Amino acid sequence: MKKTFMKISLISLFILGCTAQQQQEFSHWKSDVIGLDRKITLYSATGEPIKTWEGRYKIETEGGIVRFIHKGKAVMINGTYTVEEK
Protein backbone atom coordinates (compact mmCIF):
# COMPACT_ATOMS: atom_id res chain seq x y z
CA MET A 1 0.00 0.00 0.00
CA LYS A 2 2.80 2.40 0.94
CA LYS A 3 4.71 1.61 -2.25
CA THR A 4 1.66 2.36 -4.40
CA PHE A 5 1.05 5.63 -2.55
CA MET A 6 4.71 6.62 -3.00
CA LYS A 7 4.60 5.88 -6.73
CA ILE A 8 1.40 7.89 -7.20
CA SER A 9 2.84 10.76 -5.17
CA LEU A 10 6.05 10.85 -7.20
CA ILE A 11 4.20 10.74 -10.49
CA SER A 12 1.85 13.51 -9.33
CA LEU A 13 4.76 15.70 -8.26
CA PHE A 14 6.49 15.05 -11.57
CA ILE A 15 3.42 15.96 -13.62
CA LEU A 16 2.50 19.05 -11.58
CA GLY A 17 6.06 20.37 -11.53
CA CYS A 18 6.68 20.01 -15.27
CA THR A 19 6.64 22.58 -18.01
CA ALA A 20 4.05 22.33 -20.77
CA GLN A 21 6.60 20.76 -23.10
CA GLN A 22 7.56 18.14 -20.50
CA GLN A 23 3.89 17.32 -19.88
CA GLN A 24 3.39 16.88 -23.63
CA GLU A 25 6.41 14.57 -23.82
CA PHE A 26 5.02 12.54 -20.89
CA SER A 27 1.66 12.31 -22.68
CA HIS A 28 3.38 11.04 -25.84
CA TRP A 29 5.31 8.47 -23.80
CA LYS A 30 2.11 7.34 -22.05
CA SER A 31 0.35 7.09 -25.41
CA ASP A 32 3.12 4.90 -26.83
CA VAL A 33 3.34 2.61 -23.81
CA ILE A 34 -0.25 2.04 -22.61
CA GLY A 35 -2.41 4.12 -24.93
CA LEU A 36 -4.73 6.97 -24.05
CA ASP A 37 -8.45 7.05 -23.42
CA ARG A 38 -9.78 8.14 -26.82
CA LYS A 39 -12.88 8.47 -28.94
CA ILE A 40 -12.34 7.78 -32.67
CA THR A 41 -15.15 8.67 -35.07
CA LEU A 42 -15.32 7.86 -38.79
CA TYR A 43 -17.51 10.19 -40.90
CA SER A 44 -19.28 9.74 -44.25
CA ALA A 45 -18.84 12.11 -47.19
CA THR A 46 -21.94 14.01 -46.02
CA GLY A 47 -20.46 14.52 -42.54
CA GLU A 48 -22.59 12.00 -40.68
CA PRO A 49 -20.89 9.64 -38.21
CA ILE A 50 -20.56 6.10 -39.57
CA LYS A 51 -18.88 4.39 -36.63
CA THR A 52 -17.39 5.39 -33.27
CA TRP A 53 -14.84 3.53 -31.15
CA GLU A 54 -14.18 4.45 -27.52
CA GLY A 55 -11.49 3.06 -25.23
CA ARG A 56 -7.79 3.07 -24.44
CA TYR A 57 -5.96 2.94 -27.76
CA LYS A 58 -2.44 3.29 -29.06
CA ILE A 59 -2.85 4.71 -32.56
CA GLU A 60 -0.53 4.86 -35.53
CA THR A 61 -1.08 7.32 -38.35
CA GLU A 62 0.46 7.13 -41.78
CA GLY A 63 -0.67 9.02 -44.87
CA GLY A 64 -4.25 9.59 -43.74
CA ILE A 65 -4.72 6.07 -42.36
CA VAL A 66 -5.25 5.39 -38.66
CA ARG A 67 -4.44 1.98 -37.19
CA PHE A 68 -5.39 0.72 -33.73
CA ILE A 69 -6.39 -2.47 -31.93
CA HIS A 70 -10.03 -2.80 -30.81
CA LYS A 71 -11.04 -5.87 -28.78
CA GLY A 72 -8.09 -7.86 -30.11
CA LYS A 73 -8.67 -6.99 -33.77
CA ALA A 74 -6.67 -4.58 -35.90
CA VAL A 75 -8.72 -1.68 -37.26
CA MET A 76 -7.54 0.53 -40.13
CA ILE A 77 -9.65 3.51 -41.18
CA ASN A 78 -9.20 5.94 -44.03
CA GLY A 79 -11.24 8.99 -44.94
CA THR A 80 -12.60 11.68 -42.68
CA TYR A 81 -12.14 10.89 -39.02
CA THR A 82 -11.50 12.52 -35.67
CA VAL A 83 -9.42 11.26 -32.77
CA GLU A 84 -10.36 12.89 -29.47
CA GLU A 85 -8.47 12.41 -26.23
CA LYS A 86 -10.79 12.14 -23.24
- For residue 6, give the 3-state DSSP assignment: helix
Distance, in Å, from the CA atom of 23 to the CA atom of 35, rounded to the nearest integer, reads: 15
Read off the pTM. Answer: 0.64
Domain-wise residue ranges, the chain: 1-33, 35-86
Asked whether the predicted pLDDT for residue 70 surpasses 70, the reply is yes
Per-residue pLDDT of 2-24, as tens digits, reads: 677 667 766 765 666 667 676 66
In degrees and rounded to multiples of 5, residue 54 shows phi and psi of: -130, 135
